[in-house]
Amino acid sequence: MKKLIFISLALSLLLLPLKTFSQQGIEISAYSGWMLGGKVNLYNGKLQIDDGNNWGFTLSYNVAPGMHAEFMYNRLVSDLIVREYGDPPYVATEIATQYFQLGAVRELMYDGAIRPFGTGGLGVAIFSDRIGYESDVWRMSFSLGGGIKIFPVERIGIRLQARMLVPMYFNGIWMGIGTGGSSGGVSASSSIVQGDFTAGLILAF
């Protein structure tokens, strides 16, 4: 399902005429960086998504001076580590964390080469067990972040950003992970906060 969403978006961008881009003020940004996977409490320990290299892209549409509507995709693949009290930690599986969000970007100084901005979005987070023990888990999510855009030339820029990514509801995810299983499961009060630091290239049309 997620592959179909990604392919459909890519095809729609390729089929849009460049004239439409230039008239409507669209920015496409591809980025990479470092993502903090976060951790969640178990009844008898912790469940940790390992930090790692993430990547993604944004598609922004200018709706008003300094204001953009934005679609964001973000992906991290890393180990899911179980840390139970009294036992050494072990890798339960490999997990892919994906975010699909719609949101807004507000540029504080939108008419210069250097443009500080704030951003926020709402959407879904998808947690996928890449080894195959468990089915994909979908959760509502939100994000908040900020950064700076630098345009050394008119239509090519750099986007530097720090961001917080939060699934709204995390309990009940993968109560028995891996061949050994996590005996405690995820507690009812579980929550997880993720975040990333990224740098990307902007193409403006």
Note down pLDDT in tens along the chain; length 205 residues: 555 455 455 545 444 444 333 334 899 999 999 999 998 877 777 888 999 999 999 999 999 999 999 999 999 999 988 888 888 888 888 999 999 999 999 999 888 899 999 999 999 999 988 877 777 888 899 999 999 999 999 889 999 999 999 987 655 555 444 444 444 444 434 578 999 999 999 999 8
Domains in the chain, start-ordered, CATH in brackets? 24-204 (2.40.160.20)
pLDDT of residue 190: 52
pLDDT tens-digit readout, 117-153: 999 999 999 998 887 777 788 889 999 999 999 999 9
* pLDDT for the residue numbered 20: 39
* pLDDT at residue 26, as a whole number: 93
pLDDT tens-digit readout, 6-23: 545 554 544 444 433 333
In three state form, how does the secondary structure of the chain look? CHHHHHHHHHHHHHHCCHHHHHHHCEEEEEEEEEEECCEEEECCEEEEECCEEEEEEEEEEEEECCEEEEEEEEEEEEEEEEEECCCCCEEEEEEEEEEEEEEEEEECCCCCCEEEEEEEEEEEEEEEECCCCCCCEEEEEEEEEEEEEECCCCCEEEEEEEEEEEECCCCCCCCCCCCCCCCCCECCCCCCCEEEEEEEEEEEC
